[in-house]
Amino acid sequence: MTYIILAAGKGVNLQPLTLKTPKSLYKLDRDTTVLQRMVRLIRKNDLKAEIVVVAGFMYEQITRELERENVTIVRNPFYSATGSIASLWFARKYLERDNITILNSDIVVEDKLVEDILCQPTDIPYVLIDSGKTTGKYNVQVNGDRICVMSKSLSTFFAQYVSITKLDAVSARFLIEELENMVNGEMYTQLFEDALVQMIFENDFDLYYKDIKGYLWAEVDTVDDLIEAKEVQKN
């Protein structure tokens, strides 16, 4: 399977901690960074994994960090003026695969979640959500087993989005088309998930979800998240 890890952002919410170091290179322990841990967990559970990392901010640091990890690094040179939709657009050729997992580089999850879900193939497109966490910045509303909308602006919602998306071959190609449309339409400051939402609203795209309530995970966006991530690292 192919895993595309989006690691181009500046981590503004963690400044000044991220002024000289990407947040994905924050050390969970003496020897392991957030990004390293995810790459190694994927390798442990998927021996044939194709891992692609899209870097931008502190590109050289990320390249050095991963030089022994057998990953492909794609550069988003416009990271300071674009959103994750542009990062994924630069890596769009890797979406031409049978099974794709797209995730943010600041996600720390317990080993069992990687084994049970992240490294398992899929024949439908779905996102991971956590109905046990309802205070996140990016949330989802659902209808039955499908996503209705994903947004940072929902006043009511069902669950928090976990920043992990899994696609089969057909849905990945639909996403490539929508990425092209949005980037060509100068909507390159958006999140890549906004392309999924456009597909839902414009094309009746069926995007499913898997609720991971009960699994341990953290998205490193604040100092408190760093502390939570270190606790997840122990599992």
pLDDT tens for 210-219 read 999 999 999 8
User: In sequence order, what are the residues at sequence separation of 6 or more whose Cβ sits closer than 8 angstroms to the Cβ of residue 31?
Assistant: none
Per-residue pLDDT, 12: 58
Whether the pLDDT of residue 3 is over 70: the answer is yes
Confidence of residue 13 (pLDDT cuts 50, 70, 90): low
Residue range 41-99, pLDDT digits in tens: 999 999 999 999 999 999 999 999 999 999 999 999 999 999 999 999 999 999 999 99
Which class for 70: exposed (0-12), middle (13-18), buried (19 or more C-beta within 10 A)?
exposed
- CA distances to 100, 135, 183, 214 from 210, rounded to whole Å, are 16, 18, 28, 12
In terms of CATH architecture, what is 2-233? Alpha-Beta Complex (3.90)
Percent of the chain with pLDDT over 70: 95
User: In sequence order, what are the residues at sequence separation of 6 or more whose Cβ sits closer than 8 angstroms to the Cβ of residue 116?
Assistant: none
Per-residue pLDDT, 105: 94
Confidence of residue 123 (pLDDT cuts 50, 70, 90): very high
Which residue type does 132 have?
G
Cα 114 from Cα 127, distance rounded (Å): 14
Q: What tokens were used for 226?
A: 């760093």
* Alpha-carbon dihedral 129, 135, 137, 138, rounded to 10 degrees: 20
Per-residue pLDDT, 18: 55
Cα 164 from Cα 216, distance rounded (Å): 14
Q: Of 10-19, 42-51, 58-67, 128-137, where does the model show the most confidence?
A: 42-51
Per-residue pLDDT, 220: 85
Per-residue pLDDT, 200: 97
Per-residue pLDDT, 69: 93
Calculate ∠ Cα 195-197-199, nearest 5°.
70
Q: Where are the domains of the chain?
A: 2-233
What pTM, to 2 d.p., does this model score?
0.95
Per-residue pLDDT, 19: 55
R_g of the chain computed on alpha carbons: 16
Cα 2 from Cα 176, distance rounded (Å): 15
Whether the pLDDT of residue 205 is over 90: the answer is yes
Per-residue pLDDT, 27: 81
